[in-house]
Amino acid sequence: MKPSGWKVLRFLKPYWLWIVLAPLLMLLEVVMDLMQPRMVERIVDQGIANLDLPFVLQTGLLMFGLAVIGATGGMSNGIFAEMTVQGFGADLREALFRKVQSFSFRNLDAFETGQLITRLTSDVAQLQEGVLITLRMLVRAPLLLIGSLVMAIVTSPQLAFLPLVLMPIELLAVVWIVRKATPLFTLVQEKLDALNGVMEENLSGMRVVKAFARAAHEKQRFAHANRALTDQAVRAGRTVAVMPSFMMLTMNLGIVGVLWFGGVQVVRGGMQVGQIIAFVNYLMTTLFSLMMVSQMVIQFSRAEASARRIEEVLETEPELQDAPNAICDVRLKGHIVFDRVTFRYDGADSEPVLKEVSFTAQPGETVALLGMTGAGKSTLVHLIPRFYDVQGGRILIDGMDVREIDQKTLRRNIGMVLQETVLFSGTIRDNIRYGKPDASEEEVIAAAKAAQAHDFILTLPEGYDTVIGQRGVNLSGGQKQRLAIARALLIQPAILILDDSTSAVDVETETRIQQALEDLMRNRTCLVIAQRISTVLKADKILVLDDGRIVAQGTHAELLANSPIYQDIFESQLGNGVKIYG
């Protein structure tokens, strides 16, 4: 069942006072506006007809006073409405961002990056616009509509049939257009999702695009997504564009009708000229108010489409939840047990990525994972900090199932250097301190030295205060990897996971990093995924994965003597072979 979209209105609750004041102030403006045509009627039929200049001046001053009061109410309404809308939008974006932060990897797999960006920006903006129009027009338009209709009938009962005939025609047009436009605007937002997705992929992968000279292909992809969005927006815009013209046609026909039938009444002596002028004003206000209602309803349809998409994110429950009595504030030692672990990415019907995997890792041990690309190495280490939950078996740390440990507590005890190095805009110091913001300068420098990053940091213009660009664009791959290792080491984790984290550094630097880790990781557990077999020669235990299973495990010497697969990997890299294993 799709979200209704109305639940997002709960974010308006903190601004209830402004929401109450805004319509009241708009009511003041509407009342003042409705009194103006009656003043004009009095000026024409009493002041001008009787050549009474004092009466004209007196009534004119009264009209000016009423206009000032109305303008004050309207401006105050605008201020309170804008304050409400901006606060509502800020709270909604914050709630969306918090929800996204709570998502597990599986939730993030379901929502593409482009979709989430659109929902946090464009959809929130559409909803803000809907709320703003509501506070500005929801009172004004209906009150003007009803008030001007009543005043028109009071002013000239003989011509009352005209608005009563024209209004149902306009209402039918509004209903038809809204029913047509609502699904079209939903599709517009979906096309915007796709466009943002192409943009996000292209900007994050710009180096790959240029390396393979695929700029022309990416331009075509963007042009296709852009054209799809444009075409859909045109279809939606074309549907609603009919409304203003149709409304103006109806309004002009109404004025012609008033002048025709009213002129006959004036000639016969049944009406005065001032009445005709006032009735025309009220009729135009009535039909114009109906036009405002139509525009408001169309904006509501756009806002509702966006509200449904926002609510879809807010109502999505994180796939990983802490147990009711989750273990908190525990300092782990790092004894890891995989007990017949089976895992699938796409549910029970998909092929397992890991199949009945069992092994142990003791504190102080370095466990290396080797295998061909797709063997399940990265998936295996992602299960330890519980980025995903296993479908079969269990993972124990210090005898506790990871599903029984509070997620924050679990991850604070695990340092990870992921396969794709991600740095954030800010200084180098800030990036190293990311997992421990209160770390001292001595701790930051010690971690940088252990990661062999200290020397290159000192060569930068501002040293540790050097500001790096988004995702570390002004650093080399090896420099980014060393900063990521320093970031993981700083928190002094019980378990350190290095997912191919030294692939971009030279062998000499990698050797120095390993030597530093031997001292730092004493009594800690280290899991290493490596492309180079030289990285894992000194590991206490090497696990060889193939097709999601551990097909061999042992030390380098044991595997070299007993495992044909390991022998092939070793021969391909350090012998005379040519095969490359990931």
| Amino acid identity, position 369 | L
CA nearest 487: which of 553, 455, 443? 443
SS3 call for 452: coil
DSSP 426: E
Q: Is 67 exposed, middle or buried (0-12, 13-18, 19+ CB in 10 A)?
A: middle
3-state helix, strand, coil in the chain (%, to 5): 65, 10, 25
Tens-of-pLDDT digits for all 582 residues of the chain?
455 556 888 898 888 888 888 888 888 887 787 777 777 777 777 777 777 788 888 888 888 888 888 888 888 888 888 888 888 989 998 988 888 888 877 777 777 777 788 788 888 888 888 888 888 777 777 777 777 777 777 777 777 777 777 777 777 877 787 777 777 877 887 787 778 777 777 766 665 666 666 778 778 888 888 888 888 888 887 777 777 777 777 777 777 777 777 777 777 776 777 777 777 777 777 777 777 777 777 777 778 778 888 888 888 888 888 888 888 888 888 899 999 999 988 766 678 889 989 999 998 888 988 888 778 888 899 899 998 888 889 999 999 999 999 988 898 898 888 877 788 878 889 888 988 888 899 999 988 888 888 888 898 888 888 888 666 667 777 788 888 888 888 888 889 888 876 655 666 666 777 776 666 667 789 898 877 677 777 788 989 888 889 888 888 888 888 888 888 878 777 665 444 333
DSSP 316: P
In a domain, residue 564? The reply is: no
Cα–Cα distances (Å) from 54 to 64, 185, 561, in that order, read 15, 56, 116
In a domain, residue 341? The reply is: no
CA distance linking residue 94 with residue 245, whole number of Å: 40
Q: Is 528 exposed, middle or buried (0-12, 13-18, 19+ CB in 10 A)?
A: buried
In a domain, residue 521? The reply is: no
Say what the pLDDT of residue 577 is: 43
In a domain, residue 266? The reply is: yes
- Torsion angles phi and psi, residue 3, rounded to 5: -60, 145
Say what the pLDDT of residue 395 is: 92
CA distance linking residue 311 with residue 4, whole number of Å: 8
Residue bearing tokens 């990053």: 453
- Torsion angles phi and psi, residue 546, rounded to 5: -150, 120
CA distance linking residue 175 with residue 286, whole number of Å: 18
Are 357 and 551 contacting, i.e. CB atoms less than 8 angstroms apart?
no
CA distance linking residue 465 with residue 124, whole number of Å: 36
How are strands ordered across the β-sheet holding 414-417? 414-417, 495-499, 525-529, 366-371, 541-546, 549-554
Joined together, the tokens standing for residue 285 give 């206000």
Cα pseudo-dihedral 48, 51, 55, 60, rounded to 10: 40
Chain center to CA of 64: 48
Say what the pLDDT of residue 380 is: 92
In a domain, residue 264? The reply is: yes
Are 414 and 384 contacting, i.e. CB atoms less than 8 angstroms apart?
yes
What 371-377 contacts at long range (C-beta under 8 Å, 24+ apart), as own/partner pairs, is 371/544, 371/545, 371/546, 371/581, 371/582, 372/546, 372/581, 372/582, 373/581, 373/582, 374/582, 375/545, 375/546, 375/547, 375/548, 376/545, 376/547, 376/548, 377/499, 377/529, 377/545
DSSP letters, 371-411, are ESTTSSHHHHHHHTTTSS--SEEEEEETTEEGGGB-HHHHH
Can you give the CATH number for the domain in which 164 is found?
1.20.1560.10
CA distance linking residue 496 with residue 502, whole number of Å: 14
Chain center to CA of 105: 16
CA nearest 495: which of 383, 350, 336? 336
CA distance linking residue 397 with residue 330, whole number of Å: 11
Domain count for the chain, please give it.
1
DSSP letters, 63-79, are HHHHHHHHHHHHHHHHH
Q: Which residue range forms the structural domain that includes residue 128?
A: 6-315
CA distance linking residue 167 with residue 437, whole number of Å: 64
| Amino acid identity, position 73 | G
CA distance linking residue 43 with residue 485, whole number of Å: 84
User: 9 CB contacts (<8 Å, ≥6 apart)?
Assistant: none
In a domain, residue 203? The reply is: yes
Digit-coded pLDDT (tens) for 71-91:
888 888 888 888 888 889 899
Joined together, the tokens standing for residue 20 give 């109450």
CA distance linking residue 351 with residue 581, whole number of Å: 22
In a domain, residue 352? The reply is: no
In a domain, residue 116? The reply is: yes
Alpha-helix runs per DSSP H in 427-541: 428-432, 441-450, 454-458, 477-490, 507-520
Q: Model's pTM, two decimal places?
A: 0.68
CA distance linking residue 554 with residue 540, whole number of Å: 8
Strands 414-417 and 495-499: parallel
CA distance linking residue 339 with residue 342, whole number of Å: 9
CA distance linking residue 294 with residue 305, whole number of Å: 17
User: 282 CB contacts (<8 Å, ≥6 apart)?
Assistant: 37, 148, 149, 151, 152, 155
CA distance linking residue 119 with residue 116, whole number of Å: 5
